[in-house]
Structure formats: C-alpha cells, structure tokens
Amino acid sequence: MVTAVVTAERTTRRHLRPKPMPETVVATSCDTIVPDSGQIVISGFDKPLRSSRETFFVSNRCGRTVTSLTVRLVYYDMSGRQLHSSCVPVECNIPAGETRQLSIRAWDRQQAFYYYLSEKPKRSRATPFRVKHNVESAILDMP
C-alpha cells in the first residue's frame, strides 16, 4: 500500500491584466485585389519526382508591382481523383508587365509523385499527377 500526501496548490495567477488590442492598421503602401480578369496568370508548373519544391511562372498584367500572392492548388491523379488541396501564400516581387518564376514547398513529402508534364522517371514506379491552380488574392504596391 502506498500513501501520498497531497497539498492544495493554487493554480490560478493573480494580478493578470488583458493586453490592449492593437489598433487596426490601414495599409497605405499596398492594395489587395482578388484577380478575376486574368491580370495575374500562372503557367509553366513543374515538380519532378524527387523534388521537394514546386515551381511555376507568374505573369503580372496589372499596372502595379505584385508583392504577395495567395495561390490555391488542387492536385489530381490521372483518373481525376483529388489527391490533395492547399492554399499557399507566396512572397514575390513581380513588376508590372513582367514574369517571375516562383517556388513553393511540395505537397508530396514522400517524393513519390511527379507532375505529368515533367520529365518521366526512368526507373521508379512513381505516380503522375495533374494540378489546377488559381490565384485567390494578390497584394499590389500603391503607385
């Protein structure tokens, strides 16, 4: 038989005060848009088999520099079944009228999938996938 002596212990803190909420900051140097007119275009997606990064090109057809994007990516196998979906914020600097290559961490942590238009692996029995992408929002520099 084991006997233990337990004493009461106060577990609440005294003299706590709530932190004041920060004031709402109004951005004066940026503007957020939801692109729906094809002003920001994604092309040239690539993810080889053993890569831990996915790359794609973003063309800025707006009149201002794009400083950040939020991109929704939905991955499908070749039969059309969804494999994964993610919404990724990407920091960038794409001047008006120009194109930049962007890179994000791959969804495929085990490196067992490859984009079907990338180079086909020679020895491995890897699984090809397709991807649909959409720019959810973009942050633009103010003129």
pLDDT in tens, the chain (143 residues): 555 566 666 666 677 676 665 544 344 445 666 666 688 999 999 999 999 999 999 999 888 999 999 999 999 999 999 999 999 999 999 999 999 999 999 999 999 999 999 988 888 789 999 999 999 988 988 76
How far is CA 109 from each of CA 23, 75, 79, 84, 97, rounded to the nearest angstrom? 39, 14, 21, 12, 34
What CATH number does residue 62 fall under?
2.60.40
The reply to whether 115 falls in a domain is yes
pLDDT value for 26: 40
Please say whether the beta carbons of 71 and 87 come within 8 A.
yes
Whole-model pTM: value is: 0.74
The reply to whether 18 falls in a domain is no
- Contacts within 8 Å (CB) and 24+ apart, 9-15: none
The reply to whether 111 falls in a domain is yes
Total number of domains constituting the chain:
1
The reply to whether 103 falls in a domain is yes
pLDDT value for 122: 85
The reply to whether 14 falls in a domain is no
- Write out the residue range of the structural domain in which residue 124 sits: 30-141
- Among the listed residues 50, 40, 49, 23, the one whose alpha carbon sits nearest the alpha carbon of residue 102: 40
